[in-house]
Structure 1
């Protein structure tokens, strides 16, 4: 395999809470290759967004971050991100209003993003800003560039943020739940806009989401996180078809059918809730919720190791014992 575009190794993010160290991300490692889409998935609190912020060099105040983050072999951890932000790496947040100023037009803000990394005239930067808006599907882009963010719908604002992120053609984009709070039709439009922008620029993407259907449609590889660490990773197709970690199987089993008429009154579910990072179990963090847990699961945390098909890794002492499909391991709950 060629050298990865992004290589994250043994990433730890420790927060301070109540005077104690809180291990929020625990030894996470993954790679992203050129033009590849890698999805980070898991329940709320799994550490996905903290991972993104650590990779981007913007961890929460007071957080302690260790490990290695390399972009094309250049170590970023503990170093300046000068020349990286905007030009080589960009960010799409879940809430566009966190990055769009209400007192400047959308076009002016994207123009400023161009001029922050390139020595170009305002006219040329403006042309690039309009082209970026057009690329993500903003109709009549030249006119809409003169509008303010509050004059855009939620979906249009999110596409404008994608345009801002992609305008300087970065090598890597990190998108943190980019379709949160959007209805399904607008969500599809935003994801299509992101795919179109990636296709035009050749950027790789780290996509943070809790929606496995988005992963199945848009990602090449997936990293499943639970309690701050990876419990399974690999190419999307084998991981979704034959997961080797019970937690992954539970997430897949809990998905309602895509067709409304196919939904009966019962869906599988994962009993219980994720552990607090301040009170992690001694062994496997998923053991209290796992139907296959045995004594060694409670005593020893499993390492991420090859399981299943080539490129597939799982952190489970019983990965070879999971049936295919493994969704039948979980109980069922009423949907109404």
Structure 2
């Protein structure tokens, strides 16, 4: 089922930070949203999540840092139960074993608080929680910015393998062109709260049309990054 949202917009302190925007996402789509800082990437993501959820769609969100999703005073088991409760699932209804195996956190001690796990394991745990219930769409907002490049690449590899063959679509919001180039098939470029260019990832990066896209693509050092 195609996900569709129209007229997404946002105003902050009297200033329009997201101009009216429409988005369509098909099952299994892999979409990257890139742009300079302040271009409206995350604002678009949040507006899309709110709109689709209001339509009754299942949309999961992975924030930039696990600190934004995990209470340092609560155990990892508590967080998992809360994620199940949010979806009205009975305790243990989610296939935790399958998700933990897919994201390589099997055997981790759920009695520990987040600070008892490595940062990479924390973020993989947050991704596992987001995948409970096989959402229609998972929105990842700078999901690897708090991780070192090697751990970030490994985390995205695990997510890619888990999503392969499943209908869940993915939107990756990032300033990291290396990450986008390797992980998405469609690239959306934002500037000043507008989508100014979109198309197949390779075409946008190799033959950008707009000044903002050309500026992003001109930084060729992203090709050497491991993500």
Q: Verify same fold: TM over 0.5.
A: yes
Is the aligned partner of 1:36 residue 2:29?
Answer: yes
Is the aligned partner of 1:199 residue 2:192?
Answer: no
Q: Which runs of 4+ in 1 moved over 3 A?
A: 257-260
When you count helix as a share of all residues, which structure comes out higher?
2
Give ranges in structure 2 of 5+ residues lacking alignment.
none
Residues 111 and 214 of structure 1: CA distance in aligned 2, closer, same or farther (over 3 Å)? same
Q: Which residue of 2 aligns with 1:332?
A: none
Give how far 1:167 is off. Answer: 1.8
Is the aligned partner of 1:245 residue 2:215?
Answer: no
Residues 259 and 216 of structure 1: CA distance in aligned 2, closer, same or farther (over 3 Å)? closer
Give how far 1:142 is off. Answer: 3.7
Q: Which residue of 2 aligns with 1:114?
A: 84
Alignment of 1:201-240 (within 5 A): 201-240=166-205
Residues 119 and 13 of structure 1: CA distance in aligned 2, closer, same or farther (over 3 Å)? closer
Q: Which residue of 2 aligns with 1:148?
A: 113
Indicate the structure (1 or 2) with the bigger Cα radius of gyration: 1
Q: Which residue of 1 aligns with 2:132?
A: 167
Q: Which residue of 2 aligns with 1:131?
A: 98
Q: Residues 69-98 of structure 1, C-alpha deviation per residue, up to 9 Å, x if partnerless?
A: 4x5xxxx5xx4x7x54xxx11100001111
TM-score calculated relative to the size of structure 1: 0.62
For the 8 Å contact 1:136–1:196, the answer to whether it is kept is no
In structure 1, C-alpha distance between the alignment counterparts of 2:113 and 2:40, rounded to whole Å: 34
Alignment of 1:44-55 (within 5 A): 44-55=37-48
Give how far 1:214 is off. Answer: 1.1
In structure 2, C-alpha distance between the alignment counterparts of 1:112 and 1:96, rounded to whole Å: 15
Partner of 1:231: helix, strand, or coil? strand
Residues 115 and 219 of structure 1: CA distance in aligned 2, closer, same or farther (over 3 Å)? same
For the 8 Å contact 2:196–2:210, the answer to whether it is kept is yes
Give ranges in structure 1 of 5+ residues lacking alignment.
58-68, 261-336
Partner of 1:156: helix, strand, or coil? helix
Q: Residues 248-279 of structure 1, C-alpha deviation per residue, up to 9 Å, x if partnerless?
A: 1121112326459xxxxxxxxxxxxxxxxxxx
Give how far 1:12 is off. Answer: 1.7
Give how far 1:51 is off. Answer: 1.1
TM-score calculated relative to the size of structure 2: 0.89
For the 8 Å contact 1:46–1:226, the answer to whether it is kept is yes
Partner of 1:103: helix, strand, or coil? coil
In structure 1, C-alpha distance between the alignment counterparts of 2:148 and 2:108, rounded to whole Å: 26
Give how far 1:52 is off. Answer: 1.3
**Which one is further off, 235-244 or 221-230?**
235-244
Q: Which residue of 2 aligns with 1:90?
A: 60
Alignment of 1:287-326 (within 5 A): none
Give how far 1:113 is off. Answer: 1.5
In structure 2, C-alpha distance between the alignment counterparts of 1:257 and 1:207, rounded to whole Å: 16
For the 8 Å contact 1:26–1:229, the answer to whether it is kept is yes
Query: Between Structure 1 and Structure 2, how many residues are aligned?
Result: 225
Give how far 1:118 is off. Answer: 4.1
Partner of 1:41: helix, strand, or coil? strand
In structure 1, C-alpha distance between the alignment counterparts of 2:23 and 2:143, rounded to whole Å: 21
